[in-house]
Chain A
Amino acid sequence: AQTVTQSQPEMSVQEAETVTLSCTYDTSESDYYLFWYKQPPSRQMILVIRQEAYKQQNATENRFSVNFQKAAKSFSLKISDSQLGDAAMYFCAYRSDFGNEKLTFGTGTRLTIIP
């Protein structure tokens, strides 16, 4: 079974600075998808970014980018120019490409933005 590990329960960053959230995963599969979801205090799950394992290029969405290291099974999220609205829980998630449709989530990282 796949597992997702987020080793940083909490992180904080000064507004306008850059922060990196870590995620590692364990799988024997070669094709899969990785996601970062954001959960603000409202508790809604919002997709931040996705990465296909077959793509070598790291995904980027505006101020959000990932560092995907397939061999190391690492998938970190970098937030540039942090804003107060970025404060939330961030969950890393894994999805197999072989019919197993469920998302497997990590335990989350609570990000605090310091004004």
Chain B
Amino acid sequence: EPEVTQTPSHQVTQMGQEVILRCVPISNHLYFYWYRQILGQKVEFLVSFYNNEISEKSEIFDDQFSVERPDGSNFTLKIRSTKLEDSAMYFCASSAKLAGGRETQYFGPGTRLLVL
């Protein structure tokens, strides 16, 4: 069964450093998302991406964040200058193109980011 994959599974970085989190969505999906979950809290929406542009973003997704689909398979989240409060689990998700399936988002296993 196809699945969303994410790399790395864990990342430790120093405050102020740039990090890039990578995701490979399910191959026939064209809608992509990033969510984050701070330890012990609920999952929060960051951004959605379709047709090579952001379709929606939350207030969390400020100028420090960016997303990109550099090729036909990868979808990346970049944090330019990490802060301590960026420590969280970051989930990538994707959903199908067709309206009949677009509503169901399938999640990757997450990247656990720790900012020191």
Contact = CB atoms under 8 A, between A and B. Distances in A.
A108 B42 contact: yes
B109 A103 contact: no
Contact of A43 (B93, B106, B110): B110
Given A43-B110, A44-B110, A103 B42 contact: no
Nearest to A46: B107
A23 B107 CA distance: 21
A104 B45 contact: yes
A114 B6 CA distance: 33
Interface residues of B, number: 27
Contacts of A105: 42-44
Interface in B34-68: 35, 37, 41-45, 48, 55-56, 58
Contact of B106 (A47, A52, A101): A47
Contact of B35 (A44, A46, A95, A103): A103
B33 A101 contact: yes
A91 B56 contact: no
Q: Which residue among A33, A46, A91, A105 has the maximum number of chain B CB atoms within 10 Å of its CB?
A: A105
Interface in B94-111: 95, 102-110
B61 to A, nearest CB: 11
22 contacts: A43-B37, A43-B89, A43-B112, A45-B43, A45-B107, A45-B110, A46-B107, A91-B42, A95-B103, A101-B95, A102-B48, A102-B58, A103-B33, A103-B35, A103-B45, A103-B93, A103-B105, A105-B43, A105-B44, A107-B41, A107-B42, A108-B42
Interface of A: 33, 35, 37, 42-47, 50, 52, 91, 93, 95, 97, 100-108
Interface of B: 31, 33, 35, 37, 41-45, 48, 55-56, 58, 89, 91, 93, 95, 102-110, 112
